Amino acid sequence: MLRHASKLIACCLALSACVTINVYFPAAAAEKAADKIIDGIVGGAAPAEPTKREDDDKQQGAARADSGPQRVLLAAAASVLDFIVPPALAQGQANLNVDTPQIRALTQSMEARFAQMKKYFDSGAIGLARDGLVQVRDQNLVPLPERNVVRKLIAEDNADRSNLYKEMAAGNGHPEWEADIRTTFAERWAARAASSGWYYQDASGAWTKK
């Protein structure tokens, strides 16, 4: 009887492990998606530096799991389940879909606004924050009558950005990915800022410019 129970527990563990693996955030796919969206918004500017984490997709099964013996166990569970339920796992590794009406509407809105914001990025008055939003960096670079215009543009753009992260997570069936998507965008915007001579916040929150 006890042996049966322990088998059941093991099965449950394996199943819960399966769930965990299944919802791994596809980091590399998200980076590609973010770059594509940023390209669209910035409008055919020079592409950002190539992503260095191309092998991420292959690694992510293990990479994001806990280290130590548990990691081996999870990997083993994953491979067993791979055998039993390959379609489900395949779905877990799917690319991020960025072509939903919501995302299109949001990126079009951001693209239209970017034309007005570009000069402030160029001057260094505003920069790309590490939370995936836009922030005022040095208001003194903006003529007085334009200061509230800039604040308004930032408020609107940040509303679009937050909606975009939310819709990308929800549109791919994983609302819990919102924070990861936001982080990915923050990183890719920073890379874009670096190649465009704009300011961005480094990991400590300090403004940097390449």
Partner 1 sequence: MRAILFAAALLGLGAAGFVRAVDDAHLSVEHIAGDGWTAHDIAIDWDLPDRASATIGKLRLNAIAQELHDVRIVCPRLELSVRAIACERARVAADLPGLGAQTFTARLVYGRGDGSLNWRVEADRQRASVEALVAAAKQLRLPVPAVDVTGSVILSGAAAGAAGKVHSATFDVEVAEITLSNAAGSIATDKLNARVQGTVRKSRGDWQFDIDVSSAQGQVYVQPIFLDFGAHAMRASAAGKLRAARELTLERFSFDHSQVAQGNGRAGFDFANEQPLRSLTLQLAGIEFPGAYESYLQPLLLDTNFKSMQTAGKLAGAATIEDGAPRSLDLTLEDLSLDDGARNFAIESLTGAVHWRSDAAAGDDVASALSWRGGAIFGLAMGATELHFTSEGRQFRLLQPARIPLLDGALALESFRVRNAGLPSVAFMVDATLEPIDVKRVCQAFGWPEFGGRVGGTLSKLRMRDGVVTLGSTLRAQVFDGDLSLSDLQLQQPFGKWPRLYSNVAFDNLDLELMTGAFSFGRITGKLSGRIDGLRLFNWTPVAFDARLYTPPDDRSRHRISQRAVQNVGSIGGGGAGVTAALSSGFLRFFDDFNYERLGISCRLENDVCAMDGIAPAPNGGYYLVKGKGLPRIDVIGSSHRVDWPRLLERVIAATKGQGPVVQ
Residues in contact with partner 1 by CB under 8 A are 97, 99-102, 105-106, 109, 136, 138-145, 147-148, 151-152, 155-156, 159-160, 163, 167, 171
Task: In angstroms, give the least distance from the CB of 47 to partner 1.
Answer: 26
Q: Which is nearer to partner 1, 79 or 139 (CB)?
A: 139
Locate 37 and state its tokens: 């969206």
* Residue pair 182/168 in contact by the 8 Å Cβ criterion: no
Task: In angstroms, give the least distance from the CB of 26 to partner 1.
Answer: 16
- Distances in whole angstroms, Cα of residue 81 to Cα of each of 7, 21, 27, 85: 16, 10, 22, 6
Task: In angstroms, give the least distance from the CB of 16 to partner 1.
Answer: 27
Task: In angstroms, give the least distance from the CB of 83 to partner 1.
Answer: 29
Locate 204 and state its tokens: 């400590």
Burial environment of residue 100 by CB neighbours within 10 A (0 to 12, 13 to 18, 19 or more): middle
Closest-CA residue to 153 (of 135, 129, 139, 166): 135
Q: Which is nearer to partner 1, 102 or 195 (CB)?
A: 102
End-to-end Cα spacing for the chain = 66
**Angle at CA 111, nearest 5°, toward 105 and 117?**
135
Task: In angstroms, give the least distance from the CB of 139 to partner 1.
Answer: 3
Q: Which is nearer to partner 1, 61 or 127 (CB)?
A: 127
Task: In angstroms, give the least distance from the CB of 154 to partner 1.
Answer: 9
Q: Which is nearer to partner 1, 67 or 140 (CB)?
A: 140
Beta strands in the chain (DSSP E): 126-128, 134-136, 199-201, 207-209
Amino acid at 62: A
